[in-house]
Structures are given as C-alpha cells and as structure tokens.
Chain A
C-alpha cells in the first residue's frame, strides 16, 4: 500500500480503491452462513496471519471481522450491529441461485445417472 499514483491534490489520501478494499474482501452473507453451519461440528484454531489485526486471532464469525485484541472483540459482541447480524444468521438460509431457479418454475438440477459405482 502506498500513495495513490495519479494523485493531483496535495492531500495525504490513499486511492479510493484502497479504501474500498475491505468491501471486496468481505465475505458474502451466504458464505458466512455456510461457515457458521460448518463450524458447529469442527472448530480448528485460527491460523497466525501477521497482515491481519491482532495476528488474526480475534475473529467474529458472524460479521467476518478481525480485531486487534480480545477486549475489543468482546466490546464488538456487545454492539447492536453484531446482535442484529447474529439474529440474521440464525434465520433461514440466504437466497441462492438455486432458490431463484426453483422460484422460476424449474426443477432440481439433473446430473444424470452416477458414472462411478459407489
């Protein structure tokens, strides 16, 4: 990360793309939902990543956010935004392309007979 190369104004600001980077890296609702469903069975320790805040050790699954310290994360758990998100993730499965296809009057996808005997 550095200065914006095509910066004309003498202001110390980064490119708008850098500012929006977090948005692109954030997981979608359905991905988070799947992760939550999966994590109930198998929980593995978070890997160390020096690029992430707090070495990537303090993570909120629901909001897909990393925190610098445990206390900060616990503070986040108390926020309205987090609680709203948890409620949302406890609800029904997010809309997918399959739901859209079924709503359009299509049947379930047909993959044909199994090629390899199980």
Chain B
C-alpha cells in the first residue's frame, strides 16, 4: 500500500480517496479532495495559498530541517522481506513519530515566543490612541444624548396579532 501525497496541499492520500489527473504528457497529479482539485483547476499556486504545506514551509511556519524527515520517503527499490526488519521498523515508526511531534511542538513554542508581549503592547497603543472614544459610566448617567432613548412599545397589539395567526 503506497500512501501518496496530495499535489496541492501535501496531505496524505489513502487508497480509494481523492482523485487523480493524468495530463497528456503522462504527468500524474493526485488530489486528496475536491477542494484541492478545484484549486488546481483554477491554476492556483500552492506556494501562494496559505493553508497548504508548501506555503507554510516556505514562510517558516512549520519545521523545515529535521532528521525525522529522512525516514519517510519514496523507495523505488523493493526491499526483500525480513521478519526482524519489519518488526523493528514498526517499533521505530511509533518512536520516530513521538519525537517528531515533540520537536514540532517545540518549534511552535519557539515561534510563538514574544507573541503575547507583542499583542499586549499593541493593545496598550490602541488603548492610548482610542481612549477618547470611551466614556466613563458616570458621564453616561449625566448626559442623556450618549445613550439610546427608551421607547415604549405597545405589547397588547402584538398579542392580538399572535392570536390571529393561531386561528
């Protein structure tokens, strides 16, 4: 079973999923879902579409260089079956996956470092610039023009209408 990657978004395409387009020069384009297929037909560049892996890699959103990326690859030479090797590989997959997730988490944490301080700084600036828009509650109580006027609505008429509808 070969798990292919989507041409557009680089997600894994399992057998029986997605759609495949073979161009008249025998190049194969695989798509994980109709969303990716449609984007391809619109001639969009995956490097410019923000939700694709290609974009995220290119703009430093995801981890790019790591030794855990060296394990999963397309092997065009078939391997001779060896029971021990198969067992060890299955064990290693779990371990490597764990390491990769941990490293990705660390990468994300490092990337988000200083984000909260930056947000707070921006909020402080916004508050400073827009403080004249905020009115104290005591001012609202004094000046009636700042609050919406209270309007009395007849409830009786509405009730009658409802009765008519029921009938």
Min Cβ gap B80→A in Å is: 12
A56, chain B: closest CB distance, angstroms: 18
Q: Categorize the interface residue count of chain B.
A: 20 to 34
Which of these binds chain A: B46-54, B83-91, B117-125, B143-151?
A: B46-54
Tell me which of A24, A29, A100, A102 contacts B24 (CB under 8 A).
A24
CB-based contact B23/A28 at 8 Å: yes
A112 and B27: CB pair below 8 A?
no
Known: A95-B47, A100-B53. A106 touches B25 (CB 8 A): no
- State the total of A-B contacts with C-beta under 8 angstroms: 76
| Interface bits B99-140 vs A (CB < 8 Å: 1, else 0) | 010000000000000000000000000000000000000000
Bound complex: CA A106 to CA B77 (Å): 16
Q: What B residues does A104 contact at CB under 8 A?
A: 5, 10-12, 53
In B29-67, which residues have CB < 8 Å from any A CB?
29-30, 43, 45-47, 52-54, 56-57
The A23-60 residues at the B interface (CB cut-off 8 A) are: 24-25, 27-31
Determine if B73 and A103 form an interchain contact, defined as CB atoms under 8 angstroms apart: no
Interface centre among A28, A29, A31, A104 (most CB of B within 10 A): A104
Query: Cβ of A95: which chain B residues have Cβ within 8 Å of it?
Result: 7, 45-47, 54
Smallest CB gap from B23: residue in A: A28
- The reply on A74 being an interface residue by CB < 8 A is no
Query: Is A100 a contact of B23 with CB atoms below 8 Å?
Result: no
Q: Counting CB contacts under 8 A, is B71 at the interface?
A: yes
User: A18 vs B133: C-alpha distance in the bound complex, in angstroms?
Assistant: 64
Nearest A residue to B100, CB-CB = A105
**Min CB distance, B106 to chain A, in Å?**
16
